[in-house]
Structure 1
Amino acid sequence: MAPMSNKATHPPDTPLYPIREVSRITGVNSVTLRAWERRYGLIRPQRTPKGHRLYAQDDIQRIERILQWLNRGVPVSQVVDLLDQPTAPDTPTSNASDWNSQRLQLQAAIQSLDMLKLEALYHQSLALYPLSISINELWQPVIHSLEAQWKAQPDDLVRRTLEAFLRSQVGMRLYYANQATRGPLILLSTMPDDPGPLWMLMAALMASEQGYRVQLLDAPLALDELPRAVSRLHVSLVLLASGQAEDSTFIQQALPQAAAGLKVPLGICGEVARLRAADLQDSEVHVLGNDLTQAISRLRPLLRESGVL
C-alpha cells in the first residue's frame, strides 16, 4: 500500500460510508476514529461540503489493519510506521514500551491523587483505543498491580478515590449508553469479600460497549434477594465480579444454590473466576474468566441458550 496523502481521493463511483456505518462495520467508535485521524493521521476520509466524514472500502480495510496491530499489543503511536508494510508479522518488530510508559503514568497519577491527570489519561485511553484494548493493555494491568500493592500495604485513601472517580465516569457512560440501546439488561454486582468495585466497573464498561444495558449495585446483594431483583428489574443475566478468592462456603455452596434457583444465567468474572474455577465446574454458575474482554464476549452465547437472544 502506498503512503497515504494528506487528502483522500477515490474514483467517483466508489461507495462511501458515513462514520456511524463505519463504526458499526469495524467496531471502532466514532470518537476513536476521529482521534486516529486528528492526532496521528492514520486515516483521512473524504468530507462532504458540510464537513461530514465519508469512508471508502480501502479506509475500512486500513482501519481493520490498524486493529490487527493494536490487538498484537502495538501502541497506536507506533502503528503509523507499520501500516504500509506488505504483511503484518505474527510478532510485532516494534517494542511495546509505550504501553509500559502509559501504565506507569496512570499508576503514578492514581497514587499521587492527581485527579486532573487521571481524568486526562482516562479519556485519552478511551478515545485512542477500542475499549477492549484499553482495558486489556492499560486498566486491567494497572488494577492488578495496585491490588497487589494494597494487599501488602493497604492504602484506603487511594483505593476509595480511584473507585469514586471510576464510579462517576462509568456511571455517566452507562446512563447515556442505557438510553441508546434496547439490549438485554445485565445486573452487575460485587461479591462479599471484594473490598471495592474496580473489577465490577471495568466489566460494566465492557458490557455496555457490547450493547448491553447495565444495572450496577454498589454493594453485594444477598443471594436470596437475586430472584426478586431479576423479576422486578427484568434482568436477563446476573454477573458477579470480584478480585478475591471469596469465602469457600459462599463459592462452593451458596453461589451454586443461588444459580440453580434463578430463571436467568448467573456468571462470575474477575480474579475469582480464575481462582475458583475448579470449585464451580459441576455447578450451574458460569465461570467466565478473569480476562474481562473474553468474559463479556461469553455472555452472548449464554443469553442465546437461555432464549433471550
Structure 2
Amino acid sequence: MNDKAMNPADAPLYPIREVSRLTGVNSVTLRAWERRYGLIRPQRTPKGHRLYARDDIARIERILQWLGRGVPVSQVRDLIDQPETATPAPDTESGDWDSQRQQLIAAVEALDLSRLEALFNQSLALYPVNVALAELWHPALAQLEESWGDKLGAGLQRSLLEAFLRTRVGTRLYHANHVARGPRLLVSRLPEETHQLGSLLLALAASHEGYRVVLLDDAPPLNELSLAVDRLHIAAVVLVSAQAERSELMRRQLPRLAEQLAIPVCLAGPVTRIRAADLENSGLEALGEDPVQSASRLGPLLSH
C-alpha cells in the first residue's frame, strides 16, 4: 500500500504509519484510542488496514491539546465531541490522574511487579510519552522520593523500581534509536547521584523528542567525556543529579569541561535549583528539574 491512498472523492487518506509521523502519536496509542475510547474512527481498506482522513488528523491534534492541558484520556471524548464554543474549561483536578498516580505509588510500595508492568504499559499505550511522564511518572516518583527518607523498605522499593524502569526504558531506547534521526545525546548521572530514576525519565523524554540517546548507568570520569563525544558522535551531554554535588565539581571541573567541549554540556534535575547561583555564567546549560521540559529545552541549544 502506498504511503497515501486516495478515496473516490480524491480526498487524501493516510495509513497509520504516516499519521503517526505527522502527529507524533505512535500506532499503538492510536489503536488504543480507537478501541478503548472510540476517540477516532478511521476507515478501513478491504484487507482491514486503517486509513485516516484529514479530519481524523485534526481530531488527533485536538486530543493532544486536551491531553497537554492535563485532561485524562477517559474524559477527552466528551470534550472534543462538543462544539468548541460550548466546550467548558475542564477541571483537571477532578480527573483520574491523581487516581493513576496513587495506583502507581501503591504498586511500588507493595513491590507488585505485575501491577507495575500493567501501569507502565497502559500509560505509554494510552498517552504520548511526554504526557505520561508529565502527568503520571514524574509527579508520582517525586511523591515517592518525598516519602522514602529513612523509611523501612524504601531502599528495596527504589531498587526494584529502578531495575524495572532500566529494563523497560532501555528496551524503548534500543528500538527508538534505530529509527530516530535526531542528534545523539549522552545522558548520565553526576558523581554524587547514586540513583538512576532522574536520568531514566530524562532519557525517555529525550527519546520522545526524536533524539538518539546513549544512556550510561554510571557517572563517567570527566576526563573521558571528550573521548565519548568524539567516538560516539555526541551532540550534547546531559548530566542529571538530585544532589548538591561537590563545589569543586560545580564551580571548576564542569565549567572547564564545558569550555573544552565544542558541544553543549547540560545539567538537569534538582541540582539545577540547588546550584542555581553557581551555574550563572558557568558555560553550563541548566535544563531544569522536569524531564519533559528539560528535553524540550535541548532543541534551541542544538539548533545554533
If the length of structure 1 is used for normalisation, what is the TM-score?
Answer: 0.91
Are the aligned partners of 1:45 and 1:53 in contact in 2 as well (CA < 8 Å)?
Answer: yes
Q: Where does residue 159 of structure 1 map in the other structure?
A: 158
Residue 102 of structure 1 and its aligned partner are, at CA, apart by 0.1
Residue 15 of structure 1 and its aligned partner are, at CA, apart by 1.3
Residue 135 of structure 1 and its aligned partner are, at CA, apart by 0.3
Pairs aligned (count): 296
Q: Where does residue 53 of structure 2 map in the other structure?
A: 56
**What is the aligned-residue RMSD (CA, Å)?**
1.7
107, 110, 122: which one pairs with 1:109? Answer: 107
For 1:165-184, what aligned pairs fall within 5 Å after superposition? 165-184=164-183
Q: Which amino acid aligns with 2:142?
A: H
Counterparts of 2:88 and 2:246, CA distance in 1: 42
Counterparts of 1:56 and 1:90, CA distance in 2: 27
Q: Where does residue 212 of structure 2 map in the other structure?
A: 213
Question: Is residue 252 of structure 2 the alignment partner of residue 253 of structure 1?
Answer: yes
Q: What secondary structure sits across from 1:81 in the alignment?
A: helix
Among all aligned residue pairs of Structure 1 and Structure 2, give the percentage whose two residues are the same amino acid.
Answer: 58
Residue 151 of structure 1 and its aligned partner are, at CA, apart by 2.8
Q: Which amino acid aligns with 1:223?
A: L
Counterparts of 2:13 and 2:279, CA distance in 1: 50
Q: How far does the alpha carbon of each residue in 1:25-60 deviate from its partner, in whole angstroms, 9 at most, with x for none?
A: 211111111110011010010011111111111111
Point out the more displaced range, 179-188 or 211-220: 179-188
Q: Where does residue 230 of structure 2 map in the other structure?
A: 231
Residue 181 of structure 1 and its aligned partner are, at CA, apart by 2.5
Return 5+ residue gaps in structure 2 as ranges. 1-6
Residue 186 of structure 1 and its aligned partner are, at CA, apart by 0.8
- Assess, with a 3 A threshold, how the Cα gap between structure 1 residues 80 and 11 changes in structure 2: closer, same or farther: farther
Residue 95 of structure 1 and its aligned partner are, at CA, apart by 4.3
Q: Which amino acid aligns with 2:130?
A: S
Counterparts of 2:140 and 2:203, CA distance in 1: 17
Q: Where does residue 132 of structure 2 map in the other structure?
A: 134
26, 29, 35: which one pairs with 1:32? Answer: 29
- Assess, with a 3 A threshold, how the Cα gap between structure 1 residues 135 and 90 changes in structure 2: closer, same or farther: farther
Q: What secondary structure sits across from 1:16 in the alignment?
A: strand
Q: How far does the alpha carbon of each residue in 1:36-85 deviate from its partner, in whole angstroms, 9 at most, with x for none?
A: 00110100100111111111111111111111111111100111111122
Question: Is residue 116 of structure 2 the alignment partner of residue 123 of structure 1?
Answer: no
- Assess, with a 3 A threshold, how the Cα gap between structure 1 residues 68 and 298 changes in structure 2: closer, same or farther: same
Q: How far does the alpha carbon of each residue in 1:249-280 deviate from its partner, in whole angstroms, 9 at most, with x for none?
A: 32222211111111211111122223323321
Q: What secondary structure sits across from 2:30 in the alignment?
A: helix
- Assess, with a 3 A threshold, how the Cα gap between structure 1 residues 213 and 252 changes in structure 2: closer, same or farther: same
Counterparts of 1:245 and 1:287, CA distance in 2: 14
Question: Is residue 90 of structure 2 the alignment partner of residue 92 of structure 1?
Answer: yes
Counterparts of 2:90 and 2:47, CA distance in 1: 40
Q: How far does the alpha carbon of each residue in 1:186-243 deviate from its partner, in whole angstroms, 9 at most, with x for none?
A: 1110112222110100111111112211111111112122111111222111111122
Q: What secondary structure sits across from 1:253 in the alignment?
A: helix
Are the aligned partners of 2:188 and 2:218 in contact in 1 as well (CA < 8 Å)?
Answer: yes
Q: Where does residue 5 of structure 1 map in the other structure?
A: none
Point out the more displaced range, 279-288 or 239-248: 239-248
- Assess, with a 3 A threshold, how the Cα gap between structure 1 residues 93 and 107 changes in structure 2: closer, same or farther: closer
Residue 295 of structure 1 and its aligned partner are, at CA, apart by 1.1
Return 5+ residue gaps in structure 1 as ranges. 1-9
Question: Is residue 295 of structure 2 the alignment partner of residue 296 of structure 1?
Answer: yes
If the length of structure 2 is used for normalisation, what is the TM-score?
Answer: 0.92
